[in-house]
Amino acid sequence: MASITAADQDLSSINSYQPFEYDTGLKVLADSSNLKAVPSKFNYTNQPNALTSDSIPVIDFSALTDPDQRSKAIHDIARACQEWGFFILVNHGIPEELMNAVSKATKEFFDLPEGEKKQYEAKSASDPIKCGNFNVTTTSNQTFTLWRDYLKLYVHPEFHCPLKPKVLREVLLEYSERTRKLARELVEAVSETLELEKQYVDQVLKLHSSFQMFAANFYPPCPQPDQAIGIPPHTDPGLFTFLIHNGVAGLQIQHDGQWFNAESPRNSILVNVADQLEIFTNGRCKSVMHRAVVNSERERMSIVVANGPSSEAVVGPAAPLVKRDGRAFYRPMKYEEYVVSQLTKSRLDGKPILEQMKIHDD
Ligand code: OGA
Ligand code: NI
C-alpha cells in the first residue's frame, strides 16, 4: 500500500468502524507500561495543532425562556448552526452536580477490572451496550486503532446500562432525560426560525421516541500525540450532539477549512450539529467535521450524548424547505438504517455516508 501522507489523512474521514477484538483496554496498556512510543497499530500521522478563536458562538440557553430575548436567542442559535455547526451552550439548566456525577460514575466504569468490562465487548454494531477500543478504516484506506477506550449505550427509547458501577444507572437516566429535553428545545428553536410547523417537525422526526446514544470516551496520556489520534475527522449521526469533558481540552472542529480548538468554560456544553439536522434543513445547518486529539500529559474523558430523531423516522429535507429551495439536496433514509450504515458499511465509493446522501447537480 502506498504510504499515506498527513495531508491525505486530514482530508479523509472515517469510512467504517470495526469493533476491535477486546484484548485489554488501552487504559491497561497505558497504566501498566512506561510507554515511550506509540505501538505501531495505533499509528496515525497527525497534525494536532489547531487555532484558537474567540468567535466560536456562545449561546445563553436561559434567553430562550425570556419572552424579551427569545426571538434574538433563536436567531443566534440558527446562525451558529448555519455558520459553524457548533456552539458553546451556557446556562442550560442541567445541574453541575448531575454532570459531575455522570462523569464520576463513568470513570468508575472505565476503572472496573478488565474481566468485568469484558462481558460488554462489542459483538455487533447494534449491541445496545458495548465497550472496548476500535479499529477504524479511513476513506484513504488506512486501518489503525484509536487511542481511546469507549463505552457506548443506547439510552432512549429503551434505556440500557451496565450493572456496575451501581450508581451509573440512576445518574444516567436523569442525564439522558434532561439532555433529550434540551435537544428537543434546540430543534424547536431551529424549526421556528425556518418557519416550520411544530406538528410537522414532530410528525417527521418523532421526537417523543427519539433515539439517543450515550458515549463515553477515555483517552489516556499518549507519549507521541502526533503519532496517534483519539477520533479522526468525522461528523456525527443525529440532530444535535452534546459533549462535556473532564476539563482537559482535545476536541477540535473544522471551520472554513481550518481546525479550531473547541475550548469551553466550566459547566458549559459543547453542541454540534449532526447529519440529520443538516439533511432535514436541506443543508442550512452544517454537520460539522470534528476530531479528538490526544496529549502527553493528562488523561482526558469526554461524555457524549447523540440526540437523534426516532429510529423509525425517515429523514429527508423538510418538504416546506424543498419547496422554497426548488429541490432537495439530500436523499431520505430511515434513521435506523443510517446509523447501521455508518457503523458497518464497508467501502462503497469511499465517501462518508453524509456525502453519499447528497444529490448533486449534473
Ligand atoms: C464523538 C466525538 C470528541 C471528543 O464521540 O463522536 O466526536 O472530544 N468525541 O471526545
Ligand atoms: Ni463526534
- CA–centroid distance, residue 306 to ligand 2 (Å): 9
From the CA of 290, give the closest atom in ligand 1.
7
Note the pLDDT of residue 32: 66
Note the pLDDT of residue 345: 61
Burial of 48: CB neighbours in 10 Å, binned 0-12, 13-18, 19+: buried
- CA–centroid distance, residue 215 to ligand 2 (Å): 10
Ramachandran region of residue 228, left (φ > 0), alpha (ψ -120 to 50) or beta?
beta
| Residue range 58-81, pLDDT digits in tens | 999 999 999 999 999 999 999 999
Check whether 141 has a pLDDT greater than 80: no
| Residue range 2-19, pLDDT digits in tens | 333 333 344 344 544 444
Q: What is the mean pLDDT of the chain?
A: 89
Q: Residues lining ligand 1, judged by CB closer than 6 Å?
A: 215, 217, 231, 236, 243, 250-251, 290, 292, 302, 304
| Residue 218 φ then ψ, to 5° | -115, 120
Q: How many CB atoms lie within 10 A of CB 221?
A: 16
Integer Cα distance of 100 and 84 in angstroms: 28
Integer Cα distance of 95 and 206 in angstroms: 27
| Residue range 84-98, pLDDT digits in tens | 999 999 999 999 999
Res. 22 pLDDT band, cuts 50 70 90 = very low
From the CA of 306, give the closest atom in ligand 1.
6
Integer Cα distance of 106 and 182 in angstroms: 21
- Residue range 140-154: average pLDDT? 88
Note the pLDDT of residue 210: 98
Q: Are 229 and 294 in contact (CB under 8 A)?
A: yes
Cell of 226: 502526533
Which 3 state secondary structure label does DSSP give 67?
coil
Res. 350 pLDDT band, cuts 50 70 90 = low
Res. 21 pLDDT band, cuts 50 70 90 = very low
| Residue range 166-196, pLDDT digits in tens | 999 999 999 999 999 999 999 999 999 999 9
Which 3 state secondary structure label does DSSP give 293?
coil
Cell of 169: 444507572
Between these two residues, 221 and 43, which has the higher pLDDT value?
221
- Residue range 36-50: average pLDDT? 83
Integer Cα distance of 123 and 110 in angstroms: 19
- CA–centroid distance, residue 177 to ligand 2 (Å): 20
Res. 352 pLDDT band, cuts 50 70 90 = confident
Q: How many CB atoms lie within 10 A of CB 28?
A: 14
Residue of the CA atom closest to atom 5 of ligand 1: 304
Q: Is the pTM of this model over 0.85?
A: yes
Check whether 256 has a pLDDT greater than 70: yes
Please report, as a single letter, which amino acid is at residue 29: L
Chain CA centroid to CA 330, Å: 21
Check whether 332 has a pLDDT greater than 50: yes
- CA–centroid distance, residue 68 to ligand 2 (Å): 34
Surrounding residues of ion ligand 2, Cβ less than 5 A: 236
Check whether 314 has a pLDDT greater than 80: yes
- CA–centroid distance, residue 231 to ligand 1 (Å): 7
| Residue 336 φ then ψ, to 5° | -55, -45
Residue of the CA atom closest to atom 10 of ligand 1: 302
Check whether 346 has a pLDDT greater than 90: no
- CA–centroid distance, residue 274 to ligand 2 (Å): 9
34-43, 98-107, 210-219, 292-301: range with lowest mean pLDDT: 34-43
From the CA of 262, give the closest atom in ligand 1.
8
